[in-house]
Amino acid sequence: MTGFDFDIAGKVALVTGASSGLGVRFARLLAGQGARVALAARRLDRLQALAGEIGGGAFALDVTDVAAVRQTVADIGSKLGPIAILVNNAGVSRAARTEDVTEADYDAVMATNLKGPFFMAQAVAGQMIASGIAGRIVNIASVAGLRPIGQLATYSMSKAALVMMTKAMARDWGRHGIGVHALCPGYIETEINHDWIASPAGEKLRAIQPRRRFGRPEDLDAALLLLCAGAPGGFLNGTVLAADDGFAVM
């Protein structure tokens, strides 16, 4: 990486949505820096396979279940130790024209993208405060939280609210030494969206990207490590970092 000391070796890091996509990349990245990674998602078989590769632990979790969120945070604390880093990555989208959004889709997006991260951060921050840990919480938002994206009204709304949630938590928990940040990726190619990116619609979107390419998961590595680190990120708090090749300001 760089000559900086990212200072996460031996720390317990929780990554939600860790069964696929960016969650897998984030988990491997943190483990590679020496963190003990707790993996959380609904698909336990995938988590167990990843835990076999990088160590740590696998915890089946639906982030929309607040009681389960609180229990999982307590279980991680008991089995791995108090959480020092939270990567709030679980999220979903439902593509539809705004006039066609259903109540069920609206509720699903808001529950996973906003309610779940809120109560996850609340539970983890409570554990950090009780343990005297000056931890880091990184909420994975999106470029869609900084500018609206067509046919993704509810997703854009949820991610914009996640950005504001980040700022509110940073203000409230900074006195405990807890840094809360939002990472806003642009269009990143993963196995989840690979087929769409290869479609005519994907190629059309690629053509208007500032550097005429989509991001790769590794393009987020340095940004995530900076926001997770005790140093050199020690004076950062409430940071909203867009890693989108400038798409949000086009």
Q: Which of 26, 59, 119, 155 is catalytic?
A: 155
Phi, psi of 22 (to 5 degrees): -65, -30
Closest CA to 151 of 208, 95, 92, 91: 95
What sign results for the dihedral spanned by CA atoms 140, 143, 217, 191? positive
155 catalytic residue (yes or no): yes
| Distance between CA atoms of residues 113 and 165, nearest Å | 11
By three-state DSSP, how is residue 238 classified? coil
Catalytic residue set: 155
